[in-house]
Amino acid sequence: MNQTAVLHRKPATERPEIKHTTCYMCACRCGIRVHMRDGEVRYIDGNPNHPLNNGVICAKGASGIMKQYSPARLTKPLLRKPGSERGAGEFEEISWDDAFSLLTERLAKIRATDPKKFALFTGRDQMQALTGLFARQFGTPNYAAHGGFCSVNMAAGMIYTIGGSFWEFGGPDLDRAKLFVMIGTAEDHHSNPMKIAISKFKRSGGKFISINPVRTGYSAIADEWIPIKPGTDGALMLAIIHELIEQGLYDRDFLVRYSNAGQLVSQDADADDFGLFVEDEASDPVNPMYPQNKLWWDRFSDGPVATHAEGADPYLLGRFTLPDGRKVAPSFQLLKERVASNTPEWAEGITGIPAETIRRLAHEMGVTARDQKIELPIAWTDSWGKEHKTVTGNPVAFHAMRGLAAHSNGFQTIRALAILMSILGTIDRPGGFRHKAPFPRAIPPSAKPPNSPAAVKPNTPLGGMPLGWPANPDDLFVDDDGNPVRLDKGFSWEAPLSVHGLMHNAITNAWRGDPYPIDTLLLFMANMAWNSTMNTSEVRKMLNDKREDGEYKIPFLVVCDAFQSETTAFADLVLPDTTYLERHDVMSMLDRPISEFDGPIDSVRIPVMEPKGECKPFQEVLIELASRLKFPAFVTPEGHRKYKNYPEFIVNYETEPGSGIGFLAGWRGAGGDKPMKGEPNPRQWEMYAKNNCVFHYALPPSYRYMRNWNQGYMEWAQRMRIRRFADPILIHIYSDVLQGFRLAAQGKRAGKQPPQHLRARVEKYFDPLPFYYEPLESQAADNVEYPLNAVTQRPMAMYHSWDSQNAWLRQIHAHNYLFVNPLLARSKGIGDGDWIWVESMWGKVRCMCRYSEAVEPGTVWTWNAIGKASGAWRLDADANESQKGFLLNHLISEELPPLPDGRRLSNSDPVTGQAAWYDVRVSIRKADAGEPEQSWPQFDPLPAAPTTSRIKRAWQAYRAGRGEFK
């Protein structure tokens, strides 16, 4: 840092001013106060009146000022210089008008001929309701956001089981829990709210257990750390379920009434309905999409009865024969049989956790749930009309995220976790797991992806939202031969429940032309040439690779970002985005709001300053393009533009004309007096601005619990269009949805069939009951040569690649190490701080070793996204981030080893397409004496993009808005 810089103070000309908006230094969306003077940011702190963070701010949030004034800011649209190579980062400036004309002309041609040749993939943005709408109106199926490579297993595994999930959609009720078990979570999801909740929980005497290969962040303050081998959490969950059933420590009453545990499953192996719930054909299914005419075996009459029949009580265990001779069993019996061999001793050999610990863990969960029950004096009525005087809680709470999700066995692992939470009786109950609006949703939610190539037509919106929730094989987006329609092969037999798409395969598939080549790829906020991609070095080559005719294999690449990243260097057209302090934004009920347990909450960002240079929010870019391309939702029937800009779009857009439902739920109605639903209010933004940028609808207490089966809540949610139906949402202990796919794979179901090469795979992994299997990469790798698991996690002080360029946060981490248990390191002759090679079956990296006792010895790990390409993000070519920092991504492949016939399958969960980041197997060895003390691989330094700034070293250390170091 240049200590000799001189401060030239300008006199203050304006009074200090405080503006409120919402943080976006990570995805938590805390409320912030931005302290301004002379139009410049002086500092940022937490908004004490915000429901999410109550004034708390983290290191990232407070460092937003350094993102705002980052030298890496792009400030004008840029076009790759004619004749220059992609990746060289040579650009010339163009005007927005030229950029829009160029894009409109290109996209109009694609839309008029073959809309799927345009693909839009976005990173960790928070506007998927808008980007999804844009893709749908364009008519392309090729749209997804980062979820598929982040934690889609968590969303899908939970939602296909309990109708809700963690983080934005639900979480642990730590105000009332007595035992809190956190599994596979770093400190980057739900960051400040989780810290506040854990702090209160611990002060009130709760016990916090962390199960994680690495003890950092939240785990560091756990009362007990249980290290586990990565990718084996499913075995642990199954063993705990085994123990709870063996000990009788499950909540029978809860399971009977609120899950499908008592429903009878067809058990005639030769019958076409084998493994499906038996339906009483003579009874009304009530809702054919979610039929309710299932059967129990009643203990009193010793015969089949309709589920929830008054006075009946079903057996959960046993096997029975229906009067017509069909063999049946309650699904709980099948679960019991499934986990019969999943003993703690069995799990010990897989997870590395002693059987005694597993047994103790199960017992502690079971007795806490059973013996420390909570009764809240809140009367409510369930979906079958039964009135309850109280709400009961079993105070065991869980939280889990990417550590479970980012494995190729993550979906079934998370199904097992959701079932564990359910048999403890903790779903939407005090002290357990609580939903957040718009969840719970039906299992699966009723929105479906398109299911035929005919859904893609020139100059026509797509026949359905690009992403949805398949309920059976006929919902898959495949052609008559079972081939994928989407570029990423989402919703195909390769990954049938890929509800967030497979962004990690988009570039490889487009490059290979499998299933087809595309013309234009638009990336927003996704660093796909670096840390947001697997197989980074090869993907960079693919972006640069040309066809025989000299054209790039991906002919046109558009990148919208606020900063000069590694990916912008590959763009043909760069569109400069704004920062979060310069734009309007919504955290919408149509997308990912910030709801709390007690009711829906949505929030906004309101610009606190003008965009820098010619930066334009991506939202405005989409509105402009949609209007120029005359998408039906964006123009009048006469073809005139409907919305002047994004704020006007947000206020006036309704899901259907007159629906009263829009992006924002607060202050609707002409006068702003209607919550949740009402006609557009021209002053809606003003009202959010006056209310801390937040709208909070507090549900009456009787609607706040048991929402899967709460009649009052369901009817309210249906009126507010949060739910399509008011039916009860029974927990899927047993998944007949999965069994439907398995029957198709077995050729026992009419309708869509998997192609031959995927039949066995679908049959195996679409198991209606959770099971453990070794991650797919471990199955394929030489586990003797590569004996270690390697994982990454985000540091508390940085989020994705945005923050490792932040002048303040770089003082916390400027490069990363590989953290290795000293026992392991010493056994390899590696000293603390030594340069080492880390190798997988896919590649190798050179980096520095750091001893750490806080990692189990079979695992090595590092912080994600600190390593940078030389010169990217406007850092010096010899900055620590590129010279000492490294990316584990070079060791991870986006595809599994080739099948015997040469086909390649995604390195993903075979159910959901979740990227299997944490499956990689590695070995480590000390670098040879004399090797450069520099991370490897290295790339040619990127030149500074035009319109980025000179690095002003001194003011990065201190800037107060009143002056500037020169």
State the residues that interact with ligand SF4 by CB under 6 A.
23, 25-26, 28-30, 53, 57-58, 60-61, 191-192
Closest-CA residue to 30 (of 64, 6, 7): 64
The Cα–Cα gap between 780 and 774 comes to 10
Query: Shortest approach of ligand SF4 to residue 956 CB, angstroms?
Result: 19
CB 163 within 8 A of CB 381: no
Tell me how far the alpha carbon of residue 281 is from its chain's centroid: 39
Query: Shortest approach of ligand SF4 to residue 582 CB, angstroms?
Result: 16
Coil, strand or helix: which one is 183?
Answer: strand
Q: Tell me whether residue 51 or residue 231 sits nearer to ligand SF4 (CB atom).
A: 51
What is the dihedral angle through the alpha carbons of 612, 618, 621, 627, rounded to the nearest 10 degrees?
Answer: -140
Q: Tell me whether residue 23 or residue 558 sits nearer to ligand SF4 (CB atom).
A: 23
Residue 93 vs residues 73, 101, 840: alpha-carbon distances, Å = 14, 15, 41
Query: Shortest approach of ligand SF4 to residue 779 CB, angstroms?
Result: 37
Query: Shortest approach of ligand SF4 to residue 58 CB, angstroms?
Result: 3
Coil, strand or helix: which one is 602?
Answer: strand
Q: Tell me whether residue 21 or residue 710 sits nearer to ligand SF4 (CB atom).
A: 21
Query: Shortest approach of ligand SF4 to residue 442 CB, angstroms?
Result: 31
**R_g of the chain, CA atoms, integer Å:** 27
The Cα–Cα gap between 722 and 718 comes to 6
Q: In this structure, is the dihedral angle defined by the CA atoms of residues 411, 589, 169 and 861, taken in order, positive or negative? A: positive
Q: Tell me whether residue 34 or residue 462 sits nearer to ligand SF4 (CB atom).
A: 34
Query: Shortest approach of ligand SF4 to residue 65 CB, angstroms?
Result: 13
- Region at 938 (left for phi over 0; alpha for psi -120 to 50; beta for the rest): beta
CB 162 within 8 A of CB 145: no
Query: Shortest approach of ligand SF4 to residue 424 CB, angstroms?
Result: 29
Q: What angle do CA 588, 593, 594 make, to 5 degrees?
A: 140
Query: Shortest approach of ligand SF4 to residue 297 CB, angstroms?
Result: 50
The Cα–Cα gap between 85 and 64 comes to 34
The Cα–Cα gap between 305 and 313 comes to 9
Query: Shortest approach of ligand SF4 to residue 124 CB, angstroms?
Result: 12
CB 328 within 8 A of CB 322: yes
Q: Tell me whether residue 51 or residue 262 sits nearer to ligand SF4 (CB atom).
A: 51
Q: Tell me whether residue 191 or residue 520 sits nearer to ligand SF4 (CB atom).
A: 191
> Tokens 């998944």 — which residue?
735
Query: Shortest approach of ligand SF4 to residue 33 CB, angstroms?
Result: 11
Tell me how far the alpha carbon of residue 329 is from its chain's centroid: 36
Query: Shortest approach of ligand SF4 to residue 138 CB, angstroms?
Result: 31
H or E element at residue 149: helix 147-150
Query: Shortest approach of ligand SF4 to residue 191 CB, angstroms?
Result: 4
Both structure tokens of 375: 């009764």
The Cα–Cα gap between 509 and 745 comes to 25
**Position with the least CB separation from ligand SF4:** 61
Q: Tell me whether residue 53 or residue 603 sits nearer to ligand SF4 (CB atom).
A: 53
Query: Shortest approach of ligand SF4 to residue 844 CB, angstroms?
Result: 34
Query: Shortest approach of ligand SF4 to residue 808 CB, angstroms?
Result: 12
Q: Tell me whether residue 56 or residue 848 sits nearer to ligand SF4 (CB atom).
A: 56
The Cα–Cα gap between 367 and 384 comes to 29
Query: Shortest approach of ligand SF4 to residue 70 CB, angstroms?
Result: 15
The DSSP output letter for 694 is E
Query: Shortest approach of ligand SF4 to residue 467 CB, angstroms?
Result: 25
Both structure tokens of 339: 């986990």
- List all residues 6 or more positions away from 71 whose beta carbon is below 8 Å from its beta carbon: 874, 948, 949, 950, 951, 952
Q: Tell me whether residue 61 or residue 466 sits nearer to ligand SF4 (CB atom).
A: 61
Q: What angle do CA 824, 828, 829 make, to 5 degrees?
A: 115
Query: Shortest approach of ligand SF4 to residue 22 CB, angstroms?
Result: 8
Q: Tell me whether residue 367 or residue 812 sits nearer to ligand SF4 (CB atom).
A: 812
Q: Tell me whether residue 58 or residue 525 sits nearer to ligand SF4 (CB atom).
A: 58
Q: Tell me whether residue 25 or residue 437 sits nearer to ligand SF4 (CB atom).
A: 25
- List all residues 6 or more positions away from 954 whose beta carbon is below 8 Å from its beta carbon: 1, 2, 5, 7, 965
Q: Tell me whether residue 455 or residue 594 sits nearer to ligand SF4 (CB atom).
A: 594
CB 28 within 8 A of CB 168: no
Tell me how far the alpha carbon of residue 578 is from its chain's centroid: 23
CB 847 within 8 A of CB 860: no
The Cα–Cα gap between 210 and 202 comes to 13
The Cα–Cα gap between 198 and 399 comes to 11
Q: Tell me whether residue 56 or residue 405 sits nearer to ligand SF4 (CB atom).
A: 56
Coil, strand or helix: which one is 473?
Answer: helix
Q: Tell me whether residue 216 or residue 908 sits nearer to ligand SF4 (CB atom).
A: 216
Q: Tell me whether residue 66 or residue 245 sits nearer to ligand SF4 (CB atom).
A: 66
Q: Tell me whether residue 139 or residue 172 sits nearer to ligand SF4 (CB atom).
A: 172
CB 490 within 8 A of CB 904: no
Both structure tokens of 696: 């909070």
Closest-CA residue to 155 (of 448, 397, 500): 500
The Cα–Cα gap between 470 and 913 comes to 13
CB 478 within 8 A of CB 752: yes
Q: What angle do CA 706, 732, 907 make, to 5 degrees?
A: 120
CB 372 within 8 A of CB 395: yes
Strands, E, within 170-237: which ranges? 170-172, 179-183, 207-211, 224-226
The Cα–Cα gap between 611 and 580 comes to 10
Q: Tell me whether residue 34 or residue 265 sits nearer to ligand SF4 (CB atom).
A: 34
Query: Shortest approach of ligand SF4 to residue 622 CB, angstroms?
Result: 23
